[in-house]
Amino acid sequence: MSTSLLLLLIVLIGFISYFAGRARSLAQANGKLSNLHSLPGYHGSYVAIWAILPAALVLGAWLVAAPMYIDSSTRAILPETVQTQGGATVELALGQVKSVAGGLKRLTAEELSSLENGSANLRSTLAAKGVALAGEGEPYMITAAQHFNAMSVTNRWLMSAVVLLIAIAGGAYAIRNIATRFRARNQVERVILGSLIVASSIAILTTVGIVASMLSEAGRFFTMVSPFEFFFGTVWDPRFSAAGSGGASGQFGLIPLLAGTLYIAFVAMLFAVPIGLFAAIYMAEYASPRLRSTAKPLLEVLAGIPTIVYGFFALVTVGPFLRDISAQLNGLVTGNYQNFIQAQSVVTAGIVMGIMLIPFVSSLSDDIITQVPRALRDGSLGLGATRSETVKKVILPAALPGIVGALLLTASRAVGETMIVVLAAGVAARMQIDPFEPMTTVTVKIVNQLTGDLEFTSPQTLVAFALGITLFVITLGLNIYALYIVRKYREQYE
C-alpha cells in the first residue's frame, strides 16, 4: 500500500469518525441540543482528531525509522569480506544491493531462478530490464537484495496495518468518551492551541537551522583550513574544486572579499543616503498631500523591483554608460580615448545598489521624521526659524538616533545584496582603493563556490558556509543594533 493511499485512508477514517462522533453526541442529547456541553461539531472534531493525529504521527515516525532499520539489517547480512573493508565500501555495496533489489522486482520467475543458480549474468539480465548496475554484480547481492525486498514488503504491510489500526482504535476510543457533559470543545481547542504554538516555533527553528547548518559545515571547513588563515588571510585563490582533491589547496583569505563588500556597500550608501534623506525630509515637511500620495508609492516601486532587474540594469545600461563617459572624459582631458572606469566596477555596483536602497532610506527616515512630536516643530517655527532651519536644527537632531538605526538597517541590506553585485561588481578578489576597477564581495563568492557540480567534502565548497556565517553574523549584528536603537528611540516619544 503506497504512503499516499495510506494517508488518504487515514483522512477517510477521520471523516467517518467526524460524522460518527457528531451523530453519537446528537443521539446522547435526546433531541435537546442544550443538554450538550459542546456543540455536536466539536464532538465530531474531537473524534476525528483522535483518529487522525496519533495515526499520522506514528506514520511519520515509521517512515523515518523503517528505512534505517532495513538498511542496517541488510548491511548485517552482507558477507564478511565486504564488512571488514570499512564504511564507504559497505555503503557502496548497500547502494548496489538496493538497485539490484529494484531490478529483481521486474524479473519473471524463471529469469530469477536462472540468476539464483548462477546460469545468467546479473548485470546483463538487469540491463535488459532497464536497470543499470555500477559494477559487475556479485552473487551475494542477489540474496541480500531478496532479503531487502522481502523486508520492504513486510514493512509496508506491517506499517499499513499498524497505522490503520491506530486510526480506528483512536476513533473508537474517542467515540466511547462522548457524553452529554463531555467537554469536547475544550479538548479540541487545546489541540488547536498546540498547533498554533508549533507554528510559531518554526521561526525559532529556522534560526536554529541557519545557525546549526552553517556552523556544522563551516566547522568542517575549519578542520581543513585554519580559522586564522580564513579570517586574516589577504589572498583569495581557492583553485578549482575538482572531484577527488580532498586536501586543502588554494588560499581562502576573507579580507579581500570583506573589503569589496564594505567598499561597494559604502559607495551605495554614499549614493542612497543623501537622495533618500532629502526625499524623506521633503516628503515629510514640505510636500503637499497630493504630491506625497503619488511620489511616495512611486519611489517605493523601486523597492519592489526584483534585484535581478537591477543587476541587468547595471549590466546593460549603467556599466556601459560609465565606461563610455569615462572614455569621453579622458579623451577631452588627455586626448587619449581610453576608458578609466571598467564596465564592471565598484562604482557601477555601488550606484545601482544605491538606487535600490533609496526607497529603504526614504521610507524608514520618513516614518521617523513624522514621529517627531508636532510641538517641537511648532516651537521652532514660532520662534521665527525657517522650515529648513527647523529641520536642520530641531527635527534632525531629535530624529538622529532613529535615522542612524534606519541607515544601519539599510547598510545590512547593502552588505547582503547578491544579484546586483553578481552581475555588476566582477569576480576578481583583490584589495585596492580605486573604485573604478572591479572588486568582489562575500555574496558573489558564495554563489561562485556553490554553482556547478559540487562535492561536499572539498574546502572549495565548504568555504561558502564559512562565508555565509560571516555574512549572517555581520547582518545580524547590524540588525539587532539598529532595531535596538529604533525601539529605544520610539519609546522616547510615545
Residues 223-242 that bind other proteins (CB under 8 A): none
Given 418, 435, 437, 457, the residue binding other proteins (CB under 8 A): 418
Cβ proximity to other proteins: between 148 and 313 the closer is 313
Cβ proximity to other proteins: between 165 and 193 the closer is 193
- Residue 363 interacts with other proteins (CB under 8 A): yes or no: no
Question: What one-character DSSP code corresponds to residue 236?
Answer: E
Which residues are within 8 A (CB) of 142 and not within 5 positions of it... i.e. 6 or more apart? 100, 104, 115, 116, 122
Given 177, 447, 457, 490, the residue binding other proteins (CB under 8 A): 447
Cβ proximity to other proteins: between 226 and 386 the closer is 386
Rounded-to-integer distance, Cα 263 and Cα 439, Å: 9
Cβ proximity to other proteins: between 179 and 450 the closer is 450
Rounded-to-integer distance, Cα 221 and Cα 459, Å: 6
The Cα-based distances of 296 to 278, 281, 392, 393 in angstroms read 13, 12, 22, 25
User: For residues 250-269, which are near other proteins according to CB under 8 A?
Assistant: none
Full DSSP string of 251-297: EE-SHHHHHHHHHHHHHHHHHHHHHHHHHHHIIIII--HHHHHHHHH
* Minimum separation from the CB atom of position 387 to other proteins (A): 6
Q: φ and ψ at 182, to 5 degrees?
A: -70, 130
- Residue 299 interacts with other proteins (CB under 8 A): yes or no: yes
Half-sphere exposure of 425 (CA within 13 A, CB side): 34
Contact window for other proteins (CB under 8 A) among 241-249, 331-339, 373-381, 450-458: 450-458
Cβ proximity to other proteins: between 118 and 397 the closer is 397
- Residue 367 interacts with other proteins (CB under 8 A): yes or no: no
Q: Which three cell numbers stand for residue 275?
A: 537622495
* Minimum separation from the CB atom of position 388 to other proteins (A): 4
Total residues contacting other proteins by CB under 8 A comes to: 85
- Residue 394 interacts with other proteins (CB under 8 A): yes or no: no
Rounded-to-integer distance, Cα 191 and Cα 203, Å: 20
* Minimum separation from the CB atom of position 44 to other proteins (A): 16
Angle, helices 139-177/3-29, rounded to nearest 10 degrees:
10
Contact window for other proteins (CB under 8 A) among 2-10, 122-130, 152-160, 199-207: 199-207
Cβ proximity to other proteins: between 2 and 84 the closer is 2
Rounded-to-integer distance, Cα 205 and Cα 245, Å: 35
- Residue 63 interacts with other proteins (CB under 8 A): yes or no: no
CB-count burial class (<10 Å; 0-12, 13-18, 19+) for 191: middle
- Residue 311 interacts with other proteins (CB under 8 A): yes or no: yes
Cβ proximity to other proteins: between 222 and 310 the closer is 310
Q: Which three cell numbers stand for residue 282?
A: 521633503
- Residue 362 interacts with other proteins (CB under 8 A): yes or no: yes
**Which H or E run includes 84?**
none
- Residue 315 interacts with other proteins (CB under 8 A): yes or no: yes
Q: Which of 368, 327, 53 is nearest to 187 (CA)?
A: 53
- Contact map string, positions 454 to 483, toward other proteins, x by CB under 8 A: --x-------xx--x--xx--xx--xx--x
Cβ proximity to other proteins: between 90 and 476 the closer is 476
Local structure of 129: helix, strand or coil: coil
Which residues are within 8 A (CB) of 361 and not within 5 positions of it... i.e. 6 or more apart? 272, 273, 275, 276, 277, 280, 406, 407, 410
Cβ proximity to other proteins: between 20 and 269 the closer is 269
- Residue 138 interacts with other proteins (CB under 8 A): yes or no: no
Cβ proximity to other proteins: between 78 and 466 the closer is 466
Contact window for other proteins (CB under 8 A) among 9-17, 165-173, 207-215, 242-250: 207-215
Given 57, 243, 270, 305, the residue binding other proteins (CB under 8 A): 305
Contact window for other proteins (CB under 8 A) among 80-88, 105-113, 127-135, 414-422: 414-422
Residues 371, 455: contact at Cβ < 8 Å? no
Given 12, 243, 308, 383, the residue binding other proteins (CB under 8 A): 308
- Residue 317 interacts with other proteins (CB under 8 A): yes or no: yes
Cβ proximity to other proteins: between 146 and 479 the closer is 479
Residues 410, 365: contact at Cβ < 8 Å? no
Q: Which of 460, 450, 451 is nearest to 221 (CA)?
A: 460
* Minimum separation from the CB atom of position 390 to other proteins (A): 10
Contact window for other proteins (CB under 8 A) among 79-87, 201-209, 247-255, 393-401: 201-209
- Contact map string, positions 167 to 196, toward other proteins, x by CB under 8 A: ------------------x---x--xx-xx
**Within the chain, how many helices (H) and strands (E) appear?**
20, 2
